[in-house]
A and B are shown apart, each in its own frame.
Chain A
């Protein structure tokens, strides 16, 4: 069968590339993750459940996923506006701003964390005026939220940017000449066309924020049950040599992340299917 199938394929190289794909994915992703699962099997179901249902774990997961999702949503809105400005308008310094968007990609996250912390600390440039208003940012969940926004923004911008660039301005003109107001054009024409890219950007920013460690731990204050993120809890358990506890939390994070990202991907596929390729 394989010989016939191979002969009938128009594009050669399927066997080779598929083999490489599978072995590479196995070595890099699947085997380490399988190890994680295996490790967690050292726990009995009761122990597993006890670890997960402990107040500290639940709070850490809630902080991680909740804030990551909120940050991704903020990034979605602000990222779209930034993309719009960068793609649709020509202004001095545009290329510079375009490059600045990538900074969170490249900056060591610890540096970002320290910078944000000193900026938002009670005596920092932004922290002081906010403190005067009664808003405390550093060492609170709000700080985590800001760090997550910081590291997630380039994902939205970079996924939406090429799609918006390809979006023909003529369709906006068409909408306008058909009597649509600017707002109607955005809601009915532009956003639906960008939806798949927006969803992808959302998923990526969310995934990044859930997994973020370096920048968050500096600004979070890491108060258990209040501003402690799940990745930090894993590290704490590791330093206490409670490896099974750490893997249990990790497995839950993994499963939840996978389910969420898979769901967003399905959503994105559905949105894409309504805009078939030209």
Chain B
């Protein structure tokens, strides 16, 4: 069953819950609608289910108009966040409900219904609870029963509205894995809504990121993490550092410091610079783009997190990856610094004589988005018609960590641009974070060698 949504608009008073949404869901897909609350994801799901109606737009299932049918005729399984089980019925009767209310002409006989319910309870591994009432079950069990109930009608589409939102963290993680394997087993076209990015990235084949009633990006979990299309996606998915920068005369400035980033094609004015925490490292003074002082160092399991006060006044947190095979404990960083060059300095006490370090050995490159106002996605590794993004690809093939830079440029115009960065540190390649995609894509037009080493101050392209 394919689902196609075209130009869907839904307003609640003056608030646009959906503002022109287009979406195509392929047969057998497990799609996540991800976004903050109020982004319209639940509204979209409810419209697909027939529980809500759009102000305008189209929804079709396998090419036939779904809006002409009510929820009852659409044959869609819907799982609610708060289960919505029938409290006065046993688990068995809850699951059997959809079969018992079928029109008399197609209703199955009692023994067939019993067999089918038994089969579904086996599928959700809760056959031993058949005679209980919903109030006697745990949250995770209730949600699995709700799922079995939705599957009883052999739905063409399965829709799940924040299915694990009301559950505690541990159960949620278990159910995620379970849902994925269940989907693999039954292979029904499924859409689930979540505000939990981890959940979306872990469970779904494809992720739709929504904000303010609009779709910001559609892509595989890797895509939305590695190559966010917009500033919103970069900020929403994964942990990002956001720095306010100023574009002025072809130079990007952070405070009074100009950054070695290309600003070609960017309109002057205030802009924002995004970078992943783990894509920044601390290096010797004068070796990177920024000057700053390390304030604190903390260990969080596998990463070492440093709080760095930049010379411009902003405080950022960066993650340094650990050295492989070294057991890391809270207090052993002085004895066994996993990355000597970096961590020795990180672990130095803070004092009046504390030198200013340049926290970044990275050099950054910004790609340009020349068509202001146009859909100016300089998508890393995808878009080839910008010179700069070619270079980005070139850099990626050399195996650096990725840095994405997104900006709002000019009043009312949004240009989205992405950047890459190269660095060379004493980290073995397999430890370098996040470059499992875009590995080698040679591109003749972009053979500009941009290998940078931790030592020197870098310039833009």
Residue of B nearest to A196 (CB): B88
Q: Separation in Å of the B453 CB from the closest CB of chain A?
A: 60
- B87 & A178 in contact (Cβ 8 Å cutoff): no
- B135 & A177 in contact (Cβ 8 Å cutoff): no
- Asked whether B47 is an interface residue with its Cβ less than 8 Å from the other chain, the reply is no
- Asked whether A70 is an interface residue with its Cβ less than 8 Å from the other chain, the reply is no
Q: Is the interface of A mostly helix, strand, loop or mixed?
A: helix
1/0 per residue A164-202: CB within 8 Å of B? 000010110111111111001000110011010000000
Of A170, A177, A181, A274, the contact of B77 (CB 8 Å cutoff): A177
Q: Separation in Å of the B189 CB from the closest CB of chain A?
A: 16
- B71 & A192 in contact (Cβ 8 Å cutoff): no
Q: A193-B87, A275-B87, A278-B87 are in contact. Are A181 and B135 (CB under 8 A)?
A: no
Q: Separation in Å of the B435 CB from the closest CB of chain A?
A: 44
Number of A-B residue pairs with CB-CB distance less than 8 Å in the complex they form: 81
Q: A174-B78, A178-B97, A180-B97 are in contact. Are A274 and B49 (CB under 8 A)?
A: no
- Asked whether A276 is an interface residue with its Cβ less than 8 Å from the other chain, the reply is yes
Q: Separation in Å of the B416 CB from the closest CB of chain A?
A: 38
Distance A69 CA – B312 CA, assembled complex (angstroms): 83
Distance A223 CA – B39 CA, assembled complex (angstroms): 70
- Asked whether B84 is an interface residue with its Cβ less than 8 Å from the other chain, the reply is yes
- Asked whether B50 is an interface residue with its Cβ less than 8 Å from the other chain, the reply is yes
Within 8 A of A (CB), among B52-80: 70-72, 74-78, 80
> Which B positions have Cβ atoms within 8 angstroms of A?
49-51, 70-72, 74-78, 80, 82, 84-89, 97-98, 100-102, 133, 135-136, 146, 149-150, 152-153
- Asked whether A11 is an interface residue with its Cβ less than 8 Å from the other chain, the reply is no
Distance A21 CA – B86 CA, assembled complex (angstroms): 37
Distance A177 CA – B160 CA, assembled complex (angstroms): 12
Of A177, A195, A274, A277, the contact of B50 (CB 8 Å cutoff): A177
Q: A188-B101, A276-B135, A276-B136 are in contact. Are A179 and B72 (CB under 8 A)?
A: yes
Of B50, B133, B153, the contact of A178 (CB 8 Å cutoff): B153
> Which A positions have Cβ atoms within 8 angstroms of B?
168, 170-171, 173-181, 184, 188-189, 192-193, 195, 274-278
- B86 & A173 in contact (Cβ 8 Å cutoff): no
- B97 & A188 in contact (Cβ 8 Å cutoff): yes
Query: Which residues of B lie under 8 Å from residue A274 when comparing CB positions?
Result: 88, 133
Residue of B nearest to A274 (CB): B88
Of B72, B74, B86, the contact of A171 (CB 8 Å cutoff): B86
Query: Which residues of B lie under 8 Å from residue A275 when comparing CB positions?
Result: 87-88, 133, 135
- B84 & A170 in contact (Cβ 8 Å cutoff): yes
Distance A181 CA – B80 CA, assembled complex (angstroms): 19
Q: Separation in Å of the B303 CB from the closest CB of chain A?
A: 41
Q: Separation in Å of the A203 CB from the closest CB of chain B?
A: 20
Q: Separation in Å of the B377 CB from the closest CB of chain A?
A: 37
Q: A177-B78, A179-B101 are in contact. Are A193 and B72 (CB under 8 A)?
A: no
